[in-house]
Amino acid sequence: MYKFLLLIVIFVAVRVQAQTPLIKRVSPSKTQNTTTKPQQFITGTVCNGCSLTINKEPVHVWPTGAFAIEIQLNKGDNSFDITVINAKGIRETQQIFYTLLPEISAKETTKPTIEYWSIFPQGDLMLQVGDRIQMTVKTLPGCTVQLENGFELQEIPVSDSIGVKGVYKAEYTVGEKDNLLTASPLPLKLCITTPDDQLIEAQTRFRYSKMPHQPILLQTTGKMPYLLIGLGEDRLGGAKIGYLDSLIRLKAIGKTGDKYCVQLSEKRKAYIEEKHVQPVLNAPFTPGSITGNMRVWGDSSFDYTSLVLTTRLPYQSFQEINPSKIIIEVFGASGNTNWITQLQTAQEIESVQWKQTETDVFRIEISLKHKQHWGYTVYYQGNTLMIRVKRPPLSNTLQQLTIGIDAGHGGSNKGAFGLTGVMEKEMTLLLAKELEEVLLTDGIKVIMSRRNDTTFDNHDRYLFFKEKNPDLLISLHLNSSADPINIRGTGTYYKHIGFKSLAQAVLKEITTIGLPENGLVGNFNFLLNGHTEFPNVLIETLYLSHPEEEYLMLQPDFRKKMVLQIKKGLEKWLEACD
């Protein structure tokens, strides 16, 4: 009897709880909000089977309980009543408030102070003769603004500034006999004299020094050293020139923060992070070489091109299409190669030639027999530069290939979140397993980066797939946006031009199931798109931040439909390969 009564109590409690209206707001997270942007979004979830109004206007609720609405604020105070009503007609209301302030415009400094002193490049700098530092200072108008060596910054016209007086700019060039910088890293000092002869002083938190007369010789080390084009970066890091082998000699001519500036050739500079190099002590500084013999041949699996050098020099590689070529530029090399031995064992390499494009840039052009690039690897064997070229598969069927599948994120790297709280790492793993199942059913070999919720660093994933060497790599992700209404759709991403056709084919097939197209994105700086060893594509399948697309991704039937379209895209791409 007691157990029966207990069950009744639990049943009633569950029923009451199910009937209780509930709003779980995602944005805004606060009740009181202040902003200068009139466009805002209210998003969240409500109880199962409940309806929703905002200021008495009905709002669509997805089967997941998620909702999202765009609102436009009026100047001043705005209030919104969010009301949820359950199946019994019981309602619950939350109020949120916004205050829309006018856009903040720049104001003229009126007190003897320095509002900001910005310096570019930013960070601890080791500079060489001819390097430039750009400076901007905002303080009182009409001041004398100088560095400690007397170098003066000039007040610029209002038309060239942020619209107010008191902005000073200058570009400082490091001289041969520089009286600002020394060999010891020190902060820079700024001295400002106001119109009424008050003195304002400041110093930088970063330190600055002059390069020693003899450049620093560096040598690459670690798992994945890479060269950067410049100092700019975003959430994907700086734009990369490409990855390098180990023990490559580099001439450092400066340093910004943790990045060395290296002289690749007379006209080319690049940057490399300090963690990827180590100084070479007591070594002659000659990171250069004349070129020796070149040879082209093939073994049972790959074609090769080799170039004999006297030291390991930096290089970059890229692909060309129509006609298909692999281009390698070796920095610091001068041509002394008087013949190229080409053996008939090479099956994919049509021909190889070299050009001296600059006095210290040696360019290797490898022409391929087939239109489609299937990948290549650049590395050193001793001091001989090797380019290993992958051949096309024996037939244009998926059953002949090994497909790598990367389920993005995992473990502590959760990725994006949907309004219901679903995580990107969960959805990518479901998609990866479903794609694997579809491929395995057709007898296609698969390599998975992860099969459970484990943390797997992207650098280690890169090395994992490089070692496994699949024929193709598919990296699965979901996108996210601060705009949950207007931003949606699927997109594919590639870095190397020779793999563009794969990304195009997959995108075309996915969008045939009614998904909006979010674009084909090239030159993408994502780590796993950096592989040159095999064609690869990153698929941002849907926007998890969009409530409809989150709902779709949670449906097993939809996920199955999507992975079938990915497979179809691979098949269509293979059919077009020659």
pLDDT at residue number 281: 83
Residue 276's φ and ψ, nearest 5 degrees, are -100, 5
Does some domain include residue 7?
Answer: no
265 plus 293 within the same structural domain:
no
For residue 138, the one-letter residue type is: K
Q: Which of 278, 296, 393 is nearest to 337 (CA)?
A: 296
CATH label of the domain that carries residue 59 = 2.60.40.10
CATH label of the domain that carries residue 275 = 2.30.30.40
- Please answer whether residues 376 and 389 qualify as being in contact, where contact means their C-beta atoms are separated by less than 8 angstroms: yes
Strands (DSSP E) found in 244-301: 249-256, 259-263, 269-273, 277-279, 289-290, 294-298
- Asked if the model's pLDDT at residue 5 lies above 60, the reply is no
Q: Of all residues in the chain, what percent carry a pLDDT higher than 90?
A: 91
Residue 434's φ and ψ, nearest 5 degrees, are -70, -35
Q: Which position has the higher pLDDT, 373 or 286?
A: 373
Count of alpha carbons within 13 angstroms of residue 94, beta-carbon side: 21
447 plus 563 within the same structural domain:
yes
358 plus 506 within the same structural domain:
no
- Give the tens place of pLDDT for each residue, 393-407: 998 899 999 999 999
- Give the tens place of pLDDT for each residue, 261-308: 999 999 999 999 999 999 998 776 778 999 999 999 999 999 999 999
- Asked if the model's pLDDT at residue 171 lies above 60, the reply is yes
pLDDT at residue number 45: 97
- Give the tens place of pLDDT for each residue, 220-259: 999 899 999 999 888 899 999 999 999 999 999 999 999 9
Using pLDDT thresholds of 50, 70 and 90, give the confidence band for residue 215: confident
Does some domain include residue 493?
Answer: yes
CATH label of the domain that carries residue 559 = 3.40.630.40
Q: Which of 537, 521, 424 is nearest to 475 (CA)?
A: 537
- Give the tens place of pLDDT for each residue, 462-517: 999 999 999 999 999 999 999 999 999 999 999 999 999 999 999 999 999 999 99
438 plus 521 within the same structural domain:
yes
pLDDT at residue number 104: 85
- Asked if the model's pLDDT at residue 47 lies above 70, the reply is yes
Number of domains in the chain: 5
516 secondary structure, DSSP code: P
Does some domain include residue 1?
Answer: no
- Give the tens place of pLDDT for each residue, 183-198: 999 999 999 999 999 9
- Asked if the model's pLDDT at residue 372 lies above 70, the reply is yes
| Residue 140 burial (10 A CB sphere; 0-12, 13-18, 19+) | buried
431 plus 572 within the same structural domain:
yes
* Domain final residue pick, 374, 390, 406: 390
476 plus 553 within the same structural domain:
yes
442 plus 310 within the same structural domain:
no
pLDDT at residue number 209: 96
- Both tokens of residue 521? 């994105």
pLDDT at residue number 284: 66
**141 prior amide bond cis, ω within 30:** no
Does some domain include residue 10?
Answer: no
Does some domain include residue 8?
Answer: no
Does some domain include residue 142?
Answer: yes
- Give the tens place of pLDDT for each residue, 113-151: 999 999 999 999 999 999 999 999 999 999 999 999 999
pLDDT at residue number 12: 38
122 plus 91 within the same structural domain:
no
Task: Please compute the mean of the pLDDT values over residues 353-372 and round it to a whole number.
Answer: 97
> 399: helix, coil or strand?
helix
> 141: helix, coil or strand?
coil
* Domain final residue pick, 152, 182, 206: 206
Residue numbers of the domain that contains 162: 116-206
pLDDT at residue number 234: 87
Does some domain include residue 4?
Answer: no
Does some domain include residue 481?
Answer: yes
121 plus 182 within the same structural domain:
yes
Count of alpha carbons within 13 angstroms of residue 136, beta-carbon side: 12
The count of residues in the chain is: 578
CATH label of the domain that carries residue 197 = 2.60.40
CA distance 260 to 263: 10
424 plus 558 within the same structural domain:
yes
Strands 208-210 and 125-127: parallel
Q: Of all residues in the chain, what percent carry a pLDDT higher than 70?
A: 97
454 plus 530 within the same structural domain:
yes
Q: What is the mean pLDDT of the chain?
A: 94
50 plus 167 within the same structural domain:
no
Q: Give the burial string for 415-444 (b: 16+ CB within 10 Å, else e).
A: bbbbbbebbbbbbbbbbbbbbbebbeeeeb
CATH label of the domain that carries residue 306 = 2.60.40.3500
Using pLDDT thresholds of 50, 70 and 90, give the confidence band for residue 1: very low
Can you spell out the DSSP letters for 296-321?
EEE-SSEEEEEEE-SS---EEEEEET
pLDDT at residue number 500: 98
